[in-house]
A and B are shown apart, each in its own frame.
Chain A
């Protein structure tokens, strides 16, 4: 078969890959900030909970986590559709890695900044949102860019929990046509193209964060 015949099914798969990639990256970012801030700013209990979350999801393999959510969780009465499970699994995993980035960047904020905020009688949330995070987020962006690409690559694993993403479509096409060379070359190029777009987007976001509201002109604006 001519390679153009593979284009439509592969594009359909790529669409789902893009959706899952974007959704899990966004959800992962939320988890990363929540757990990262809890590690640095939370009390003893919150900090410990965040540590357990981070270590468990960084320490066990992503594929094991996906299988666990997909096969094991329904046995104790909790089940979602595969796409939700896939997004949740990827987000929990990448969120744990992101949390370490958030923690590192927050801890790298010069202690004088907090002291100055305290001297100015800023409250806890004010100090965090107006002083620490705006400076830390600039430092986080390059690592977030790497993690976003990592997550995009990791989406290929959801094909193993029966989601018809790009990898899954490639597998099904190969099973029918046996045309491995063309199909997998196209698939690899597809992932590479998506990664390039993702990198460009993250680069744009990095620049926007660097010059944007990171350093508010007026503290009460």
Chain B
């Protein structure tokens, strides 16, 4: 019994049905971690992308190196690093927060590249036209460049949201009780791993297929010419 839900091991179908509410509670944690991590990744990625585009090499180069380092090292090790090293410096956070930060930091390296590619894809003539019209740097970004970058950036961000969703089970190693750790707990107590783990796989499959369909719709719905911010 977990969270007050008992399981019924009389048959595979009954077992699957009886553990569904338990996995549902884990699913909420999984989705919360994904959402929290994604917000961090989108914001931190934006900061990294802007620093990366800085005209000062002393800022742009170390940022580029940091992005590369974060991108090429495993999330699991980064998670352990944050989980065990932050307390050494007196920062003690709940496991869920540490996990969300780890997810966010890892994916900020990806999202920063998405923003960069989105901005770079705006034709050079647009920048030149903005200069010719004597628009300020802020106005150039907010009214000319960013609106045109959005249709390229959003679907790519959506793809990373899906990858992030699939990586949240890693958080279970630092005691975040997500769907996968609940499936393992059920397995440990019933000696029956096949049904819980298959069910978790099925739930992930349904979620990712739904998300992919959503991104596809979004991609088609977004106007290619851009979205005015005013």
Bound-state CA distance A187–B168 (Å) is 21
Does B18 sit within 8 A of A, measured CB to CB?
no
Chain B residues, Cβ within 8 Å of A218 = none
Known contacts A61-B180, A67-B197, A192-B72; decide if A170 and B167 are in contact (CB<8 Å): no
Within the complex, which residue of B75, B84, B184, B202 is in contact with A153, where a contact is CB–CB below 8 Å?
A: B75
CB distance from B88 to the nearest CB of A (A): 6
Which segment, of A36-44, A68-76, A116-124, faces chain B? A68-76
Within the complex, which residue of A75, A153, A181 is in contact with B88, where a contact is CB–CB below 8 Å?
A: A181
Chain A residues, Cβ within 8 Å of B170 = 63, 157
Cβ–Cβ contact B69 & A192, under 8 A: yes
Within the complex, which residue of B75, B78, B184 is in contact with A67, where a contact is CB–CB below 8 Å?
A: B184
User: Which B-chain residue is minimally distant from A93 (CB atoms)?
Assistant: B166
Bound-state CA distance A70–B204 (Å) is 18
CB distance from A218 to the nearest CB of B (A): 40
Chain A proximity mask over B56-98: 1 for CB below 8 Å, otherwise 0: 0000000000000100111111101100110010000000000
Number of residue pairs spanning A and B whose beta carbons lie under 8 angstroms apart: 114
Does B117 sit within 8 A of A, measured CB to CB?
no
Does B209 sit within 8 A of A, measured CB to CB?
yes
In chain B, positions 24-81 with a C-beta closer than 8 Å to chain A are: 69, 72-78, 80-81
Main secondary structure of the interface of A (DSSP, over half): helix
Does A58 sit within 8 A of B, measured CB to CB?
yes
**B contact residues, total (Cβ < 8 Å):** 36
Bound-state CA distance A199–B69 (Å) is 13
Does B187 sit within 8 A of A, measured CB to CB?
yes
CB distance from A75 to the nearest CB of B (A): 5
Chain B residues, Cβ within 8 Å of A159 = 76
Chain A residues, Cβ within 8 Å of B200 = 61, 64
Cβ–Cβ contact A196 & B169, under 8 A: no
Chain B residues, Cβ within 8 Å of A65 = 201
Chain A residues, Cβ within 8 Å of B69 = 188, 192
Bound-state CA distance A149–B81 (Å) is 20
Main secondary structure of the interface of B (DSSP, over half): helix
Cβ–Cβ contact A156 & B187, under 8 A: no
Cβ–Cβ contact A64 & B201, under 8 A: yes
Known contacts A55-B205, A153-B74; decide if A64 and B169 are in contact (CB<8 Å): yes
CB distance from B83 to the nearest CB of A (A): 9
**A contact residues, total (Cβ < 8 Å):** 39
CB distance from B218 to the nearest CB of A (A): 18
Known contacts A55-B209, A184-B84, A191-B77; decide if A62 and B72 are in contact (CB<8 Å): no
Cβ–Cβ contact A60 & B166, under 8 A: yes
Chain B residues, Cβ within 8 Å of A188 = 69, 73, 77-78, 81
Cβ–Cβ contact B81 & A61, under 8 A: no
Cβ–Cβ contact A68 & B198, under 8 A: yes
Bound-state CA distance A214–B193 (Å) is 47
CB distance from A22 to the nearest CB of B (A): 16
Bound-state CA distance A167–B83 (Å) is 14
Cβ–Cβ contact A64 & B204, under 8 A: yes
CB distance from B74 to the nearest CB of A (A): 4
Chain A residues, Cβ within 8 Å of B73 = 153, 188, 191-192, 195
Does A180 sit within 8 A of B, measured CB to CB?
yes
In chain B, positions 175-200 with a C-beta closer than 8 Å to chain A are: 180, 183-184, 187, 192-194, 197-198, 200
Closest 6 pairs (CB-CB, A-B): A195-B72, A180-B84, A156-B74, A71-B193, A60-B201, A59-B205
Using a CB–CB distance below 8 Å, which chain A residues touch chain B?
A: 55-56, 58-65, 67-68, 71-72, 75-76, 149, 153-157, 159-160, 167, 170-171, 174, 180-181, 184-185, 187-188, 191-192, 195-196, 199
Residue pairs across A and B with Cβ atoms less than 8 A apart, 7 shown, are A61-B168, A63-B180, A64-B180, A71-B184, A156-B74, A174-B80, A195-B73
